[in-house]
Amino acid sequence: MTDMKLPMPPACAACRAMPDAGSPHHASAELPRRRALRGAAGIALGAALPTGPALADDPADARPQAGDLLVLASDDDASRPLTADAVASNRKPLQVFPVDPATGTVRNGSRFNKIALVRVDPAALDGDAALRAAGGVLAFSAVCTHEGCDVTEWNDKAGTLLCFCHFSQFDPREKGQVAAGPAAKALPWLPLRVEAGRLVVAGGFNGKPGPAKPA
Ligand code: FES
């Protein structure tokens, strides 16, 4: 399965405001199909292998699967799976990709596999959210459901994920529901757990990542 590349929004507010500042929030729009560290030794985790049917022929394209570890999108280093402690409270979401612990394949073949991690106060999570969180760490698709920019920012006052393109906001405590802005669809979430201090994917996205109706 090959993912469609989404066009960039034609009128990104951040780019209009800072035309010479570059557009880090667009950085992954044309994500190269890297196959970082494929074939590297599997990561000894002792966790369950991925479950369920393969979602793509190429494992780097497959959506996150139960048992996957997480690595920073900035370096895709499968030898350094992310620990729960690495996710700070009330900070910009960490951008990560899942990695198959058995093969070391970073699933960065599709930008729809990118995940945004945030940490909130566990006491603020209801029973359902607490079940899919690892402590206070919650995971969402990092692709904005409005027009597909990366969701890279955090509104500290509101405690919401923020897309800098047109300022849609998503509430991590309420299943990624839209809190403000033009987006009309919640950010898909996926459940996490912690094993040996490391964050582990506990299941797939609860919905299809990306805009409701791609342009
Ligand atoms: S792409 Fe428009 S708010 Fe995110």
pLDDT digit string, tens, across residues 75-90 = 878 889 999 999 999 8
115, with CB counted inside 10 A (0-12, 13-18, 19+), is buried
140, part of any domain: yes
**Is 48 within 8 Å of 117 (Cβ atoms)?**
no
**Structural domain total, the chain:** 1
106, part of any domain: yes
Q: Quote the percentage of the chain above a pLDDT of 90.
A: 62
- pLDDT at residue number 191: 96
- pLDDT at residue number 71: 97
Nearest to 134 by CA among 178, 79, 208, 189: 189
**Protein residue with least CA distance to atom 2, ligand 1:** 166
33, part of any domain: no
13, part of any domain: no
Say yes or no to pLDDT of 107 above 80.
Answer: yes
- pLDDT at residue number 33: 43
Cα of 53 vs centre of ligand 1, distance in Å, is: 32
113, part of any domain: yes
65, part of any domain: yes
Pick the range with the lowest mean pLDDT from 21-25, 39-43, 145-149, 167-171: 39-43
- pLDDT at residue number 214: 52
Cα of 18 vs centre of ligand 1, distance in Å, is: 16
**Protein residue with least CA distance to atom 3, ligand 1:** 166
- pLDDT at residue number 47: 37
Q: Is 187 near ligand 1, meaning CB less than 6 Å away?
A: no
Cα of 161 vs centre of ligand 1, distance in Å, is: 12
Q: Is 12 near ligand 1, meaning CB less than 6 Å away?
A: no
Q: Answer with the residue of higher pLDDT: 17 or 83.
A: 83
Atom of ligand 1 nearest to the CA of 181: 3
Atom of ligand 1 nearest to the CA of 182: 3
Which residues constitute the domain of residue 122?
47-201
166, part of any domain: yes
Q: How confident is the model at residue 125 (pLDDT cuts 50, 70, 90)?
A: confident
At 27-51, the pLDDT tens digits run: 444 344 444 334 333 343 333 334 3
Helix (H) or strand (E) holding 97: strand 94-99
Residues 6+ apart with CB under 8 A from 42: 100, 101, 102, 103, 104
- Tokens 């990104």 sit on residue: 12
Cα of 176 vs centre of ligand 1, distance in Å, is: 14
Q: Answer with the residue of higher pLDDT: 4 or 101.
A: 101
Average confidence (pLDDT) over 152-179: 96
Cα of 165 vs centre of ligand 1, distance in Å, is: 5
Nearest to 208 by CA among 117, 115, 145: 145
Average confidence (pLDDT) over 55-62: 81
Atom of ligand 1 nearest to the CA of 183: 3
Say yes or no to pLDDT of 26 above 90.
Answer: no
Pick the range with the lowest mean pLDDT from 30-39, 149-158, 194-203: 30-39
Atom of ligand 1 nearest to the CA of 151: 4
**Protein residue with least CA distance to atom 1, ligand 1:** 147
Atom of ligand 1 nearest to the CA of 167: 3
CATH at 96: 2.102.10.10
101, part of any domain: yes
Say yes or no to pLDDT of 115 above 80.
Answer: yes
Give the chain's mean pLDDT. 80
- pLDDT at residue number 197: 94
Pick the range with the lowest mean pLDDT from 30-39, 101-110, 120-129: 30-39
**Is 25 within 8 Å of 149 (Cβ atoms)?**
yes
Q: Answer with the residue of higher pLDDT: 17 or 140.
A: 140
